[in-house]
Structure 1
Amino acid sequence: MKKSKIALLGAVCFASGAFITKVTEDKLTVAMLQDAQRVIGLNFTDAQLDSTISELESFQENYEVLRKQELPNSVAPALVFNPIPVGYTFETEKSTFEVERPQQVKLPKKREDLAFYTLPQLAELVRTQQISSEELTKFYLSRLKKYGPTLECVTTLTEELALQQARKADQEIKAGKYKGMLHGIPFGVKDLLSTRKYKTTWGAMPYKDQVIDEDATVVQRLQDAGGVLVAKLTLGALAMGDVWNGGKTRSPWDITKGSSGSSAGSAAAVAAGLLPYAIGTETLGSIVSPSTACGTTGLRPTFGRVSRHGAMALSWSMDKIGPIARSAEDCAIVFNAIYGPDGKDQFVYDAPFNYNQSINPKKLRVGYLKDDFAKEYGFAGNDKATLQALRNAGVELVPISLPDLPARELTLTISVEGAAAFDELSRSGRDSLLVAQHKNAWPNIFRSARFIPAVEYLQAQRVRTLLIQQMQEKLKDVDVYLSPSFASNNLVVTNLTGHPCVVVPNGFQKNGMPTTITFIGKLFGEAELLSFARFYQGMTSHDEQHPNMNFNKKKRS
């Protein structure tokens, strides 16, 4: 709809399907409502509008009462998003999680090579006490201090805590109380996950000194597995992009380029070997996009797989938490530690994650988005090479397509839910403290969302229900399918439906920046999805490529 100038007496706004005024002494008039309804494309008569005035004034009074109720970001709405199609059932029987232990792992002659070891390799070194957790922790802390400032990927080093946890891990391992492959292994988390005693800044100036003195469920579970928290990592302010209150996070492949976002620091740190793995989040591409810009492997789990307790809420019906690591198997190891109900996040489902040797990737039914792979783009050769590598390995690829429904239009979901999550920030005017103030930045998005009617939001969710049902029909004959990572429609659709994806490196562009391919699985099908991604990575060496860390020869933009 073409935007027109709207002069609204009393600064009339439209919020949640009702009109409000900032100047309460001004009475609503038919003329005001005539102007306001043009914003949302309605055409009620003067008589019809006149009849609504008393009800709208009553709504205004309700708003004032409700706004006096304190609503921290952690309070979710009573409406719970359900990604499960009608008639769908997921597996309920849980089997043993299995990862093959690597044989004869030794410390590298060149200590710097340790930075790019996989989780199983690092775990074996720690388990066999070839290196202590404390030594390994100091190694990664040193790298974070050396390269972190250039990449602008760290908000807070948790050094004191990390050394305490590492020493405890060493004591436990020496006493024969080994907990598994994450025991004694350092990790970092995106700084929208709360941590005791350390700041949780959400990457945004208004919250730069915020302390939420509790460990998010994901943080607690990794620590329970023996993990060592060494850093809080950058995110684009309030989970958008790579610009945060302290700067712009860089890709280690070319520090003149941003790392994309919003899990900017998590991807940059892992790609640069500053950490073996980190936790990111995704609402609409925030694991896929930075993993692509940084050449890492990232898992976006099924919606409702991982508790978001202690995580900043942007969109209650779309936010997801997942690992960013060196390989699909590394992601499986981390995911196994963090998935499942915690009794705190009511959105989480109790479904098993049966990743083990019983899964034969060659027997999985595999599809691909034929029309997207047929398009011409700069690195299409890398994606076509991925398809050919799978065919050469005996995988039959079946062409599929996505539902023919409006999907991009449904992303107003994020605008509405984000505006609600940060209602106080907008109404207080503190949104002016955010670094980004352009037309497509959060302050303007949140303000614009106030003009989206509640009715239209709910209608969008009804279309979303159709999308979920049709997606189930499209995927009935495949276990996994492939999509170019650039395919925005696939990214939008699967984030709306809640399907899991794994993004893995598959080559480089002519400018030296990495490219990735995206594997998408069935709902709660992470075991098969990760097994297939591991199968692909076993045929290629893209995940073993690492950036040149000589940043001094490069200049930032």
Structure 2
Amino acid sequence: MAQAQASLLDLNGLLRSGSVKARDVIRRAVQALEAEGARDGSVRQILEREAMSAARGVERELSRGRTRGLLQGAPFGVSELLQVSGRPPFWNADVHPRQVEDAAAVSRLRGAKAIPLAVLSSPPPGAAEFWRSGGADPCAAAVGRRLLPFAIGLDFNGNVLRSALRHGCWALRPTFGTVSGFGTAPVSWTLAAVTPVAGTPEDCGHVLAAMSGGDSRCFHSPGRTFRFVPQYTRLPRKLLVAEGASVPALSAALAKAGISIDAAPHSKELSGDVLDIVLAAEAGEAMEDEMLSSAEGRELLEQARELTAFDYLRAMRLRREVQEWLNAALDGSDAVIFPAVSLAEPEADAAPQKWLATALIAGTPVVAFGGGQGLPAFCLTGRAGAENSLLKLAAALREAAAPSGGS
């Protein structure tokens, strides 16, 4: 599907020029989803009728010269861990379909005239693969196979990031709270973040900008909107390189982009343990009924029940220590880059896994790229609110690694 392979900027240009009609984009995406997505069960439901109606509205607006931004008319996928109106979520299956609202992220994307086309399946919470971090999220599979221009998932333990690494996509896990958690599965109320997956870092930035903003229905919403402004963002000039990240292709791209590097300190040893405790306690409490549905889920739930209030509160206090350590480690530097080839697998190498766990429990943004375009797989993280800087750096590395020096 040619339109799914195009960036949001290119697709929007085709729609605005009239070279491609919005309904044609939807038809081709539906054909691809039916042919490829149904084969492995990654597509739970195709919202064709609703999407065609929305596409017809986009065509009417464009014919009148009304443009709504780069997402106008772009189809996208939604993880089953986010609510879609009219479809009872698996964690509250008894609710009447008419009472189901869109998750805040989905609602805001609709407001930007993007078109939700597919609900992407997720392993049941009682299954062990749901809690493993290795490529269980379906969003990157749909984007990586060029079925959709972008998709949004719920990252709670690096699951979306790892899936993007496995399928050669870009993913942006934002600073915790940037996107409202209203309408998302109650997997972890202090870890989970709605995360876009797309074909370019710029597309991730545009999608995040459309989803972000305050929401009184979500207690951790900070009440501010993320604005993707690469044209006004300074390119990071000093980068900390974690152990193993200085592979030749990456080092060459950093040098070509004019970025100085320094060795990163070893990440916090306790980060992984803190992540496990927080996730087990919060998910076990909120999703007890769903986890009881299988033997694997019951085993995981029993482990969660062994945790005490002391364990959880201590883990939450240690999270603050990790946040302070990360800020201190970044003193004088703009970001950290760490290798990510092994992170695509459930049992990752110790050093990359610790860096990822540090970023997750600190709530800082993470950009992940699965490799290609002359670059190896890598992840970037930085201070809270540093999404623009990380995306600018990601785009600069991609351009520096391109054979012609361009994107």
Does the pair score TM above 0.5?
yes
Q: Distance in 1 between matches of 2:5 and 2:42?
A: 18
Question: What secondary structure sits across from 2:159 in the alignment?
Answer: coil
The yes-or-no answer on 1:238 pairing with 2:125 is: yes
Deviation at 1:119, TM superposition (A): 0.8
Q: Distance in 2 between matches of 1:153 and 1:515?
A: 26
Deviations 1:425-473 (A, max 9, x none): 45xxx423xxxx4xxx433111211111101211121122111111111
The yes-or-no answer on 1:448 pairing with 2:306 is: no
Q: Distance in 1 between matches of 2:397 and 2:117?
A: 31
- Output the amino acid matched with 2:397: Y
Gaps of 5+ in 1: 1-111, 245-257, 375-382, 509-513, 543-557
Map of 2:347 onto structure 1:
none
Alignment of 1:333-372 (within 5 A): 333-351=206-224, 352-361=226-235, 363-369=236-242, 371-372=243-244
The yes-or-no answer on 1:288 pairing with 2:161 is: yes
Deviation at 1:154, TM superposition (A): 0.3
Map of 1:431 onto structure 2:
293
Deviation at 1:236, TM superposition (A): 2.6
The yes-or-no answer on 1:124 pairing with 2:40 is: no
Alignment of 1:122-201 (within 5 A): 122-201=11-90
Deviation at 1:358, TM superposition (A): 2.1
Map of 1:92 onto structure 2:
none
Question: What secondary structure sits across from 2:332 in the alignment?
Answer: coil
Q: Distance in 2 between matches of 1:285 and 1:214?
A: 26
Q: Distance in 1 between matches of 2:136 and 2:88?
A: 18
The yes-or-no answer on 1:216 pairing with 2:103 is: yes
Identity of aligned residues (%): 25
* Conserved? CA contact 1:386–1:506, under 8 Å: no
Q: Distance in 1 between matches of 2:95 and 2:42?
A: 18
Map of 1:389 onto structure 2:
253
Map of 1:461 onto structure 2:
316
Deviations 1:17-63 (A, max 9, x none): xxxxxxxxxxxxxxxxxxxxxxxxxxxxxxxxxxxxxxxxxxxxxxx
Q: Distance in 2 between matches of 1:164 and 1:242?
A: 36
Deviations 1:339-381 (A, max 9, x none): 12122112022344352312232x5322111x3437xxxxxxx
- What TM-score, normalized by structure 2, do the two folds share? 0.89
Q: Distance in 1 between matches of 2:376 and 2:185?
A: 29
Question: What secondary structure sits across from 2:370 in the alignment?
Answer: strand
- Output the amino acid matched with 2:77: G
Map of 1:483 onto structure 2:
338
Map of 1:301 onto structure 2:
174
Alignment counterpart, residue 474 of structure 1, candidates 311, 314, 329: 329
Map of 1:523 onto structure 2:
384
Map of 1:416 onto structure 2:
281
Alignment of 1:514-553 (within 5 A): 516-540=377-401
Q: Distance in 1 between matches of 2:381 and 2:320?
A: 19
Deviation at 1:387, TM superposition (A): 2.3
Deviations 1:160-203 (A, max 9, x none): 1111111111111112221010011111110111111124346x
Q: Distance in 1 between matches of 2:85 and 2:173?
A: 25
- Output the amino acid matched with 1:319: A
Deviations 1:220-240 (A, max 9, x none): 000000011110012232397
- Output the amino acid matched with 1:334: V
Q: Distance in 1 between matches of 2:268 and 2:32?
A: 48
- Alpha-carbon distance change, 157 to 242 in structure 1, aligned in 2, over 3 angstroms: farther
Map of 1:377 onto structure 2:
none
Deviations 1:284-330 (A, max 9, x none): 11121100111111111111111010000111111111100001001
- Alpha-carbon distance change, 183 to 478 in structure 1, aligned in 2, over 3 angstroms: same
Deviation at 1:117, TM superposition (A): 0.9
* Conserved? CA contact 1:519–1:529, under 8 Å: yes
- Bigger shift: 273-282 or 145-154? 145-154
* CA-based RMSD: 2.6
Count of paired positions: 390
Alignment counterpart, residue 227 of structure 1, candidates 114, 123, 131: 114
Deviation at 1:243, TM superposition (A): 6.7
- Output the amino acid matched with 1:481: V
Deviation at 1:127, TM superposition (A): 1.3
Alignment counterpart, residue 191 of structure 2, candidates 290, 301, 318: 318
Q: Distance in 1 between matches of 2:279 and 2:262?
A: 33
Question: What secondary structure sits across from 2:282 in the alignment?
Answer: helix
- Alpha-carbon distance change, 147 to 243 in structure 1, aligned in 2, over 3 angstroms: farther
Deviation at 1:506, TM superposition (A): 2.4
Question: What secondary structure sits across from 1:386 in the alignment?
Answer: helix
- Output the amino acid matched with 2:238: R
Map of 2:346 onto structure 1:
none
Alignment counterpart, residue 146 of structure 2, candidates 257, 273, 284: 273
Gaps of 5+ in 2: 344-351
Deviation at 1:393, TM superposition (A): 2.9
* Conserved? CA contact 1:355–1:531, under 8 Å: no
* Conserved? CA contact 2:86–2:100, under 8 Å: yes
Deviation at 1:210, TM superposition (A): 8.4
- Output the amino acid matched with 1:272: R
Q: Distance in 2 between matches of 1:360 and 1:173?
A: 34
- Alpha-carbon distance change, 209 to 372 in structure 1, aligned in 2, over 3 angstroms: farther
- Output the amino acid matched with 1:409: D
Q: Distance in 1 between matches of 2:119 and 2:94?
A: 13
- Alpha-carbon distance change, 300 to 198 in structure 1, aligned in 2, over 3 angstroms: same
Q: Distance in 2 between matches of 1:179 and 1:301?
A: 23
Q: Distance in 2 between matches of 1:451 and 1:480?
A: 37
Question: What secondary structure sits across from 2:262 in the alignment?
Answer: strand
- Output the amino acid matched with 2:310: V
